[in-house]
Amino acid sequence: MFPVNSFSLPKACLALFCLFLAPLPAAAQAAQPGWVANPYARFNRQTYLAAVGSGVSRATAERDALGRLAATFGVGIHVDERIRESYREVTRSGGSAVWAHHVYLDSETRAVVGMDNLIGAEIVDFWNDGRGTGFALAVMNRERAVRIYSELVRANREAINSLVNMSAAERNTLAGFSRYQLAAVFADMNISYGAVLSVLGAPVHGLRRGDYFRREAQDIRGAIPIGINVRNDRGGMVRDAFARAFSDLGFRIGGAGSRYVLDVDISVTLDQRFSAHHDAWITWAYKTLRADLRDTVAGTVLLPYSLHNIREGHVSRPQAEDWVFRRAVEAIGRDYGNLLAGYLAGLVPGR
């Protein structure tokens, strides 16, 4: 009997042994489906819009597919994210507002309002090529999409008509301003929805862009006088600082009997201390300020604002007071205009 070892195996047996150890072919990997090269190999072009996306993961492939489907409609469907978020917010929470009282959406449309992707689009298939790339198929049923987008355009038009339908007295108020501002949001969304409907073969005519309503809102703002009352001012420094903030945003300043009044109350306290470093008595001026924008008709504070702990010191009392006022003016110029602009941008009627 000869000893058996790896060196004495016949070559044929050794080859068979190596073949047994080699990995098997990936028989489980399915062949590439036809829709990867042509989505319309699976879906009828007359009934559907379709697009294929790819990526290193399923999530990225799906996003790419939806993006490519969106590109079918061109740049016209893109809306500033701030406008889109405003639209989501008002459609979610505006149902009890006066302007929305007669505006309704059917259940299917209401369910998809505010989606980040194209409304009515969906991912229907995914395939991985086994080499690290995935492919996703996105489709949109034309008939369903036409129904949804047409319903959205109709509802938005009704909302716009309800918003801008008011008397002249109502129009030249901050409420009137906010109604036109919101109408601009609905109008912008309608332009994007109209772009989709045009590609789907159901164009909508007579849509106004949001800028039309923004110009109306600017005209309203220019017709609203803002009264400014400042107690304990110094040479009109604080009043002028607030007036600049309102003027920069298009408001008129002054006018007897203004409905909207900014009431400003200033308090300055003085404290004298000896400074060994300066070998002198230093007068410290401490200032607090409160400014409330009021609606005198409704009796409400619309926008509160305050400054605290502003401090300046000088050997001269008048100079210390002057410096502390200048510090306050700087703070107002830096902060109040942005605060006011943010308040105006967030105004939603009927809340």
Q: What integer pLDDT is reported at residue 351 of this predicted model?
A: 46
Which is it for the CA torsion 124, 79, 166, 342, positive or negative?
Answer: positive
Structural domain count of the chain: 2
The answer to whether 265 and 252 have CB atoms below 8 angstroms apart is: no
Whether residues 69 and 95 share a domain: the answer is yes
- The per-residue pLDDT for 169 is 85
Answer whether 79's CB lies under 8 Å from 209's CB.
no
Alpha carbon dihedral 98, 104, 109, 112, in 10-degree steps, equals 20
C-alpha dihedral sign at 75, 80, 85, 88? negative
Judgement on whether residues 290 and 188 belong to the same structural domain of the protein: no
Q: Does 137 lie in the same domain as 81?
A: yes
Residues 127/36, Cβ–Cβ less than 8 Å: yes
- Domain shared by 164 and 256, yes or no: no
pLDDT computed for residue 252 by the predictor: 92
pLDDT digits (tens, 9 = 90+) for 318-330: 767 777 788 889 9
Domain membership of residue 101 (yes or no) is yes
Query: What are the φ and ψ backbone dihedral angles of 270, each rounded to 5 degrees?
Result: -115, 145
In a domain, 16, yes or no: no
Exposure string of 252-282, with b = 16+ CB inside 10 Å and e = fewer, is ebeeeebbbbbbbebebeeeeeeeeeeeeeb
Mean predicted lDDT score pLDDT of the chain: 80
Residue 126 in this model has a pLDDT that exceeds 50? yes
Residue 338 sits in a domain whose CATH number is: 3.30.160.180
In tens, the pLDDT along 250-271 reads 999 987 789 999 999 988 777 7
Mean pLDDT of 270-296: 77
Q: What's the residue count for the chain?
A: 351
Residue 15 lies in a domain: no
- Residue 289, classed as helix, strand or coil, is strand
Host domain of residue 214: 34-220
Share of residues in the chain with pLDDT > 70 (%)? 73
Please enumerate in sequence order all residues whose Cβ is within 8 A of that of 243, keeping only pairs 6 or more positions apart, or say none.
Answer: 228, 253
- Domain assignment present for 196: yes
Mean pLDDT for 124-151 is 94
> In the β-sheet with 260-275, what is the strand arrangement from edge to edge?
252-253, 225-231, 260-275, 280-295, 300-314
Assigned domain for 153 exists: yes
Is there a single domain that holds both residue 260 and residue 214? no
Give a yes or no: residue 192 inside a domain: yes
Which has the higher per-residue pLDDT, 100 or 115? 100
Domain C-terminal end among 194, 220, 246: 220
- Quick check: is 4 in a domain? no
Q: Are residues 125 and 239 in the same domain?
A: no
User: What dihedral angle (degrees, nearest 10) is formed by the CA atoms of 84, 86, 92, 95?
Assistant: -130
Q: What is the pLDDT of residue 319?
A: 66
* DSSP state letter for 305: E
Same domain, 136 and 179: yes
What pLDDT, on the 0 to 100 scale, is given for residue 240? 96
Same domain? For 232 and 207 the reply is no
What are the pLDDT digits (tens) for 155-195?
999 999 999 999 988 899 998 998 999 899 899 989 988 98
Q: Do residue 76 and residue 100 come from a single domain? A: yes
Alpha carbons within 13 A on the beta-carbon side of 337 = 16
In a shared domain, residues 166 and 237: no
Does residue 138 register a pLDDT over 50? yes
pLDDT top residue among 237 and 100: 237
Domain-terminating residue out of 204, 220, 236: 220
- Pair 297, 330 in one domain: yes
Instruction: Give 285's pLDDT tier (boundaries 50, 70, 90).
Output: low
Whether residues 149 and 254 share a domain: the answer is no
- Give the end of a domain, one of 220, 239, 263: 220
**Region 52-63 average pLDDT:** 95
Tens-place pLDDT, residues 99-114:
454 444 444 444 444 4
